[in-house]
Amino acid sequence: MAKLTLDGLKAKLTTNHLRAAELLLEKEYAPKGEKKTYAEIAEELGIDTSTLYHWRQNADFVRYQGWKLIR
């Protein structure tokens, strides 16, 4: 099995997936009064909130968030 690279992982995701992952990480680490809601993030991306929840179950999406977190 080939080793997964950040570039390989990014190639599996859309631009919206990548942005959503970053916005969700920002939400996690934002000061208490500055955290965006899932609805606000979904609106910013032009998607439905349920789509955002669905993406959060995608293994590649979760791996990408992990890469962003440790970098």
pTM: predicted TM-score of the whole model, two decimal places: 0.86
Closest CA to 55 of 3, 29, 19: 19
C-alpha span between 66 and 45 (Å, rounded): 20
Q: What is the pLDDT of residues 2-56, one digit of tens each?
A: 678 889 999 999 999 999 999 999 999 999 899 999 999 999 999 999 999 999 9
Q: In the chain, where does DSSP find H-type helix?
A: 6-11, 15-29, 38-45, 49-55, 59-70
User: Residue 28 is encoded by which pair of tokens?
Assistant: 């996690």
Reduce the DSSP state of residue 16 to 3 states and report it.
Answer: helix
Q: What is the CA radius of gyration of the chain?
A: 13
